[in-house]
Amino acid sequence: MAKFFEEYDLKIGEATESPFLNKVEVYQDGTTPMYRDTDGTLWAMSGHSHKGHIAMFAGTCLDDMEKKYQIQLNFCVGHAEHAFSGVRYPEGVLPRGSIWPFGLYICPNTHRFFCWFHNESGWNGKGTAYDAYGPCDTPKWDSDFRHIGLMHSDDEGKNWTFDRWVLTGEEVCFTSRYNPGAGNALGQQGDIIRFGSGDFCMFIEPEGDYIYLLYDMLEMDISKEGHENIWKRCDAYIARCRKRCDGTMGDFVKYYDGAFCEAGNLGKETRILEDCWHPRVVYSEPLKKYIMTSKPILSTMQKKIPGLDEKAKVMQISTSEDLIHWTKPELVYKDGKLWGNHYNAIVPDDTVFQPNILTENKFSILNCHNGTDVMRYPVEIIKK
């Protein structure tokens, strides 16, 4: 496949405010999940559960989208003795910590809302948080363990009920240095540790049978010190589940060794793209390709890219014809300088189609850092 910037340029305009701002008490930390219901309303969720609050937004598009209300959870987050209705992680450990919503789907027949969220063992544990080294207040070098959970709402996102954990790494969520209550289960051995499934996006086929989940997995050498030394890998993977039409949700199957064949929880996985932080995917009808925005995380941690600012804010683009085989990501520049942020997402500007489908080469890019305002940029793909 040809390199993107051999065929196209990106014309990036100036920033304006999106609806997802700190002044409305949301502190987005990741890309914002969106979905359009059968009545044509575009819904979005923004925020996370331990700073400000999580809110539902609605409109016809980004131009008129407004905050509707703060969501309520019919379950606790935080302390392991109370969180997530006591539904243990698949490894047998009591769950703990916060939720970061990154995926949204609305059943067309029942109008039930489904949200998939990111969870980490080292944040907001209220005395029960832990990372690869043991108990912590906040994780050392980001070395805590990720899971992806599912919740649903029957009142357009006002109240949410926790369902289950849907995606887990092959390796268990603790190490031989510390057992967080898993009984006789064995933790990961040695210094090279993998940290589970998270930092993800959803790609929902508008006319197809599947909901795809593209996620990250971190690998670290915890014998070392400093982000530039400890991080070994951060790559993208993919899983999928079949759509249903009865208001229930099936299980995910991971892509492994050329097929979707491994269990979403504790199954094996094959990487689809290297050095990729928090992928976000749309399908471009004009280009007949999938486009992924992300951040090159390992190379920025190790300061291998000249011209980065101190927060290493930059976007990269990769394309695919099948969601599995991706071109090598290419860095994005604006006016000769590296451009982007920690989290980057393409969002259409139209008022009809699903938010992961581009019907034209003009659209918006939303980006933010950890808990900052989400800014909106007008963008156009121009054929060379």
Cβ–Cβ < 8 Å for 154, 188: no
**pLDDT score at 67:** 98
- Helix/strand number for the chain, H first, E second: 3, 27
**pLDDT score at 323:** 98
Question: What pLDDT band is residue 85 in, cutting at 50, 70 and 90?
Answer: very high
Report residue 110 as tokens: 């029942």
**pTM exceeding the 0.85 threshold for the entire prediction:** yes
- Whether the pLDDT of residue 33 is over 80: the answer is yes
Mean pLDDT value across residues 275-292: 97
Report the percentage of the chain scoring pLDDT > 90: 96
pLDDT digits (tens, 9 = 90+) for 93-129: 999 999 999 999 999 999 999 999 999 999 999 999 9
Mean pLDDT value across residues 287-300: 96
Q: Report the C-alpha gap between 76 and 78 in whole angstroms.
A: 7
Question: What pLDDT band is residue 330 in, cutting at 50, 70 and 90?
Answer: very high
pLDDT digits (tens, 9 = 90+) for 135-148: 999 999 999 999 99
**pLDDT score at 301:** 87
Cβ–Cβ < 8 Å for 216, 191: no
